[in-house]
């Protein structure tokens, strides 16, 4: 929404021509900021609760910096996924407050720290090789205000490792299960707990894992209820969904409380 339109809208509110809810609806549905190479959805946080996220592959450093600066101009936290250390170095020259999370391969510029939810997210990785995807999921959920418990290397090849840590998983409001190879971990988890499980197939494994297709099909064909599946290596999508479950549960509770 351009400044003149916003100013006119606020004048109408001041004169009593429109009410506050009308103004909120108009701002929510404002189009975008056109940078030429990108149309930045600066109102996304107002609509859905989290700002637009920058997917870095295929973008030049100038593109990433330009989009990030536009989001910051609207006082929004920046999350840029699949970022290389070289890209981070370029971003930090222009935006000194930028942080690099090497484990998640992500750049973050924090604005408002969201209040922590009472519910927690558990991110469970089958193997150490799955950690980059698990870290991306964890960082995303944390930026949405959800405390995260991380469990690593508890795959089904040594099931006792998972069982010995099951109490932590049972306390979560939502669970992200990250696994490559044959991808059995999410099905096992969904059969043990009464929490929604979000399965993330990873491209980790030998040839017959087919770059993540085998665990994807295993997860999609699971007989365990309460299990949803995101795309291969999509840690961001899983962390985002887990964050929505946590925050949505708290909104429901607050609405039910007198």
CATH number at residue 202: 3.40.50.1970
- The answer as to whether 4 is a domain residue is no
Residue that is last in its domain, among 67, 87, 109 = 109
Model pLDDT for residues 26-70, shown as the tens digit of each residue: 676 667 778 889 988 888 887 788 899 999 999 999 999 999 999
- The answer to whether residues 75 and 195 belong to one domain is no
Q: What angle do CA 150, 156, 158 make, to 5 degrees?
A: 90
| 230 and 135 housed in the same domain | yes
Answer yes or no: are the C-beta atoms of 109 and 76 closer than 8 Å: no
Instruction: Tell me the residue range of the domain where 226 lies.
Output: 121-250
Domain-embedded: residue 17: no
62 falls within a domain:
yes
Q: How many domains does the chain have?
A: 2
What is residue 256's predicted lDDT score, i.e. its pLDDT? 39
CA distances to 48, 128, 161, 198, 223 from 144, in Å = 12, 25, 29, 16, 30
Last residue within a domain, chosen from 78, 109, 140: 109
Whether residue 257 is contained in a domain is answered as: no
Is residue 209 one of the residues assigned to a domain? yes
- Listed residues 82, 109, 136: the one ending a domain: 109
The share of the chain scoring above pLDDT 90, in percent, equals 67
Q: Are residues 95 and 171 in the same domain?
A: no
The pLDDT tens digits for 69-93 are 999 988 889 999 999 999 999 999 9
Confidence of residue 257 (pLDDT cuts 50, 70, 90): very low
Averaged pLDDT, 199-203: 97
Mean pLDDT for the chain overall: 89
Cβ(167)–Cβ(190) below 8 Å: no
Looking at the structure, tell me whether residues 149 and 226 fall in a common domain. Answer: yes
Quick one: residue 172, left, alpha or beta (phi over 0 = left, psi -120 to 50 = alpha)? beta
18 occurs within a structural domain: no
> Pseudo-torsion of CA 225, 229, 233, 239, nearest 10°?
-90
78 and 187 inside one domain? no
d(CA 91, CA 66): 10
More confident residue, 17 or 238: 238
The distance from CA 242 to its chain's CA centroid, rounded to whole angstroms, is 8
| Same domain for 238 and 156 | yes
Residues 224 and 126 in one domain: yes
Q: Which residues is 151 bridged to in the sheet?
A: 124
Residues 160 and 56 in one domain: no
Asked if 116 and 22 count as a contact pair (C-beta separation under 8 A), the reply is no
Q: What average pLDDT score do residues 111-127 get?
A: 87
Assess if residue 180 is contained within a domain.
Answer: yes
In a domain, 206, yes or no: yes
The answer on 94 and 129 residing in a single domain is: no
Instruction: Tell whether 100 and 214 lie within a shared domain.
Output: no
Q: What is the pTM of this model?
A: 0.84
Looking at the structure, do residues 35 and 95 belong to the same domain, yes or no? yes
The predicted pLDDT at position 45 comes to 82
Specify whether 40 is located in the same domain as 129: no
Are the beta carbons of 174 and 194 closer than 8 angstroms? Answer: no
2: exposed, middle or buried (Cβ count in 10 Å: 0-12, 13-18, 19+): exposed
């Amino acid at each position: 929404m351009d400044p003149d339109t916003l100013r006119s809208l606020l004048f109408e509110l001041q004169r009593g021509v429109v009410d506050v809810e009308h103004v909120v609806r108009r701002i929510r549905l404002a189009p975008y900021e056109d940078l030429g190479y990108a149309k930045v959805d600066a109102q996304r946080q107002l609509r859905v609760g989290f700002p637009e996220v920058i997917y870095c592959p295929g973008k030049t450093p100038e593109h990433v910096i330009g989009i990030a600066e536009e989001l910051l101009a609207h006082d929004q936290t920046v999350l840029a996924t699949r970022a290389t250390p070289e890209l981070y170095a370029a971003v930090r020259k222009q935006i000194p407050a930028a942080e690099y999370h090497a484990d998640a391969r992500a750049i973050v510029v924090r604005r408002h720290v969201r209040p922590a939810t009472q519910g927690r997210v558990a991110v469970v990785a089958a193997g150490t090789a799955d950690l980059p995807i698990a870290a991306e999921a964890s960082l995303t959920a944390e930026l949405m205000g959800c405390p995260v418990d991380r469990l690593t290397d508890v795959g089904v090849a040594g099931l006792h490792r998972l069982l010995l840590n099951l109490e932590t998983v049972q306390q979560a409001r939502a669970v992200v299960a990250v696994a490559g190879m044959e991808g059995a971990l999410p099905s096992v988890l969904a059969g043990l707990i009464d929490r929604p499980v979000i399965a993330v197939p990873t491209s980790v494994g030998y040839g017959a894992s087919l770059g993540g297709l085998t665990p994807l099909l295993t997860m999609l064909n699971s007989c365990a209820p309460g299990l949803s599946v995101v795309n291969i290596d999509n840690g961001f999508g899983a962390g985002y969904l887990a964050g929505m479950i946590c925050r949505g549960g708290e909104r429901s509770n607050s609405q039910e409380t007198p």
